[in-house]
Structure 1
Amino acid sequence: MKLHYNSFDLRFHHPFTISKGTKTHQPMLIVALEHLGITGYGEAPAITYYDITVDKMIADIQAKKMFIEKFAFTEPSRYWHYLHHLLPQNPFLVCALDIAAWDMYGKFKNSRLDELFKAELAPLDKPLPLCDFTIGIDSVEKMVAKMQEKPWPIYKVKVGTADDIAIVKALREKTDAVIRVDANAGWDLETALKLMPQLSELGVEFVEQPLAKDNWEGMKVLYRESSLPLYADESCVFESDVARCKDHFHGINIKLTKCSGLTPALRMIRQARELELSVMVGSMNESTVGSAAIAHLLPYIDHVDMDGPLLQDEDVATGLVYDQGVVTYGQGPGLGINYTGLYER
């Protein structure tokens, strides 16, 4: 195989703020694996609070490029196991390479990824989940304005401020859409217990990662007392975290970048089903490349947050269509995308 790569900084339409900080651009790495005349593409966005930068991913590529390329590729799961041991401290890069391997494999098989995944999982017997649209933290007035700028059936609202109830109340006064709340570990137990009943009265559907990722005792109490479903995000990064979420959360949010790719994500979905946990697959502001990988999981999950391309003014590929939460992905094999390099929307 041959490995190629490029880095980009994709500009957000609005500065994007969560409880952990603000950014105006999303740095990300695109990788391309070429084998027997077929090229597959993958992506990993860089996330500051996980301490993996684009420079770190590129440094690891340069140090291990010969080994990444020398593998005798036959199918993605074997390659993922090889990469997992080759790059044990860089799940983000493993994710990008794993997505590229799946895209390449789908092209070899002349099949879309969602069809190939049937060998691993049975599709759920219900309509595909609608994609939400994220409203980042800002003043109450600006958050309302962002929502009104983008009429959408489901909103994911970032919270973790002193004004959380005022924010949700102001949004609810202007929309009947589904509202989900994501605290990004921004509350303590006392705050969460106080806010949950109020959020329930405001018609919030569920709450994502209310407490610190390692506050398992607090989550046990909140799980028992909460009137709303609770989803793990920062508390559920790798496969080994799924079982621990049982009886602490009602569902998990899988991030491909964090768990290290589609290959482990499929196993996490299967494990969550066995534990009767609902499954959401979330975004780390991926471009169309990474978002397309998420899209092919839609037949197998309950909820999805894959709105990176909606939040950014720039992209590097085409092939996904968003229409009022309905996501349509290309009919071509693999990811079904057309990689273009950077372009402005």
Structure 2
Amino acid sequence: MDETILFQAGNLKVSAIPYQLNFKFPFKLALSTRSYTDIVILKVQSGKITVYGEAALPPYLGASVQSTIDFYKSLDWNLILDFSLQESREMIDLASTADNAAKASISIALHDLHCQREDITLGDLYEIKSEKTSYSTYTIGISTEKELRRKLEEGKDFKIIKLKLGSDDDKDLIKAYKKHCQKPFCVDINQGYKPRDKAAEMGEFLLKNGVLFIEQPLPAEQFEEMAWVRERVDIPFIADESVKRLSDLRYAAEAFDGVNIKLMKSTGIAETYEMIAQSRKLNLKIVLGAMAESSLGNTAAAHFASLADWVDLDGPMLTSNDPFEGIIYSHGAIVLPSRAGVGAIPVKGMETDSKFIL
């Protein structure tokens, strides 16, 4: 699809570019399977500086490429680019009660622009000084034993594996994993267990098999049922679909042990940082995750990796046509680029390729 010009005046230009991120393997979850993720790349040009944002649009978020572009079109870009980061954030959030990923893409781009102008990194802006090495999990969708072995080979440099569950064959998959791999592992059910007894029974099974934590076993709205399960199984339960924004955290604290915080759910960088701080106050464990974004979204999130208990930012390893470069992995350890701003830039050649216009 072609570039959509959203705003242009003087040396300022804002545009949107739809793109499909293709998975290396079909990404099978409890409730769906997909071979790609739609994203919209937001491009902001201000004088000699060009920055980008990313809206990743997995189906469960309920947004589409067209709805994202429509949201961009509804905004007053002249004011957004003139305001401070906080003023722009407030204005954008008031424009819609939804469109979280679109808001996140603007947050990424505006933070990048601000930091490049100041010649600082995103981590510098938020005064993140930790020298802690953070290791990302490597995610494997629901698989047969043969598929599992092939995916384990693909992720062999990673120290922690994340297994997607939620099928009738979950116990067999865990047995196959234990047969072929001895690395620590966690699981993500993606709301795949009903009723609560099933979640409790599988929780006990996973506990006996050494799982690190269990993510979102029940449907998002079932907080009371989740609290019931949590009382019966002594393992950390992490909320994902149940918690999107800062205001949701008060519900999570009563039913979960931790929360998976993502830029695309939270509306962007500032609220992600606030959610991390509030989660600590509520004694919630933190998984820093993503929606299988490109290296752009994952690099932006990775600046907060040292603040999390676990990190799930392996999207660039799962896709075959990443249009950006930034975050890299050294035996699963996250290594951030040293460039000012977010640190992600278009893959060489993408800036001039007429199909992408980056």
Task: Give the TM-score of the pair, scaled to structure 1.
Answer: 0.93
Tell me how far apart the structure 1 counterparts of residues 81 and 112 of structure 2 sit (CA, whole Å): 16
Measure how far apart 1:192 and its partner are.
1.1
Spell out, residue by residue over 1:104-149, the C-alpha distance to the aligned partner (whole angstroms, 9 max, x if none).
111011111112112xxx666x733210111001223312331133
The residue aligned with 1:173 is 179
The residue aligned with 1:155 is 161
Measure how far apart 1:72 and its partner are.
4.9
The residue aligned with 1:51 is 62
The residue aligned with 2:337 is 330
More moved, 143-152 vs 236-245: 143-152
The residue aligned with 2:223 is 216
Does 1:248 pair with 2:255? yes
Contact 2:143 2:173 in 1 (8 A): no
Spell out, residue by residue over 1:138-178, the C-alpha distance to the aligned partner (whole angstroms, 9 max, x if none).
22331233113321211110000111111111101211111
Gaps of 5+ in 1: none
Tell me how far apart the structure 1 counterparts of residues 166 and 78 of structure 2 sit (CA, whole Å): 43
Measure how far apart 1:243 and its partner are.
1.4
Tell me how far apart the structure 2 counterparts of residues 227 and 144 of structure 1 sit (CA, whole Å): 30
Does 1:7 pair with 2:18? yes
Measure how far apart 1:90 and its partner are.
1.2
Residue identity opposite 1:115 in structure 2:
D
Residue identity opposite 1:29 in structure 2:
V
The residue aligned with 2:210 is 203
SS in structure 2 of the partner of residue 61 of structure 1: helix
Counterparts in 2 of 1:233 and 1:327: CA distance versus 1, 3 Å: same
Does 1:137 pair with 2:142? yes
Contact 1:114 1:299 in 2 (8 A): no
Spell out, residue by residue over 1:282-314, the C-alpha distance to the aligned partner (whole angstroms, 9 max, x if none).
110100110111111112221111111100111
Does 1:283 pair with 2:316? no
Q: 1:94 aligns with which of 97, 103, 114?
A: 103
Measure how far apart 1:38 and its partner are.
2.4
SS in structure 1 of the partner of residue 126 of structure 2: helix
Tell me how far apart the structure 2 counterparts of residues 76 and 34 of structure 1 sit (CA, whole Å): 16
Measure how far apart 1:185 and its partner are.
0.8
Matches within 5 A, 1:98-137: 98-118=107-127, 127-137=132-142
Q: 1:40 aligns with which of 37, 48, 51?
A: 51
Contact 1:223 1:247 in 2 (8 A): no
The residue aligned with 2:238 is 231
Contact 2:30 2:190 in 1 (8 A): yes
Tell me how far apart the structure 2 counterparts of residues 74 and 329 of structure 1 sit (CA, whole Å): 28
Matches within 5 A, 1:235-314: 235-314=242-321
Residue identity opposite 1:270 in structure 2:
A
Tell me how far apart the structure 1 counterparts of residues 133 and 229 of structure 2 sit (CA, whole Å): 30
Measure how far apart 1:33 and its partner are.
2.1
RMSD value, Cα: 1.7
More moved, 265-274 vs 76-85: 76-85
Contact 2:258 2:286 in 1 (8 A): yes
Tell me how far apart the structure 2 counterparts of residues 149 and 207 of structure 1 sit (CA, whole Å): 23
The residue aligned with 1:84 is 93
Measure how far apart 1:211 and its partner are.
0.7
SS in structure 1 of the partner of residue 301 of structure 2: helix
SS in structure 2 of the partner of residue 267 of structure 1: helix
The residue aligned with 1:182 is 188
The residue aligned with 1:18 is 29
Contact 1:131 1:154 in 2 (8 A): yes
Residue identity opposite 1:201 in structure 2:
K
SS in structure 2 of the partner of residue 247 of structure 1: helix
Measure how far apart 1:236 and its partner are.
0.7
Tell me how far apart the structure 1 counterparts of residues 174 and 80 of structure 2 sit (CA, whole Å): 51
The residue aligned with 1:194 is 201
Tell me how far apart the structure 2 counterparts of residues 157 and 29 of structure 1 sit (CA, whole Å): 27
Tell me how far apart the structure 2 counterparts of residues 289 and 53 of structure 1 sit (CA, whole Å): 19
SS in structure 2 of the partner of residue 7 of structure 1: strand
Does 1:315 pair with 2:322? yes
Measure how far apart 1:53 and its partner are.
0.8
Counterparts in 2 of 1:242 and 1:25: CA distance versus 1, 3 Å: same
The residue aligned with 2:9 is none
Spell out, residue by residue over 1:49-99, the C-alpha distance to the aligned partner (whole angstroms, 9 max, x if none).
22201121112223x25x133335353222111111123331111110011
Q: How many residues align?
A: 337
Structure 1 runs (4+) deviating above 4 angstroms are: none
Tell me how far apart the structure 1 counterparts of residues 43 and 154 of structure 2 sit (CA, whole Å): 35
Contact 1:182 1:207 in 2 (8 A): yes
Contact 2:324 2:346 in 1 (8 A): yes
Task: Give the TM-score of the pair, scaled to structure 2.
Answer: 0.90
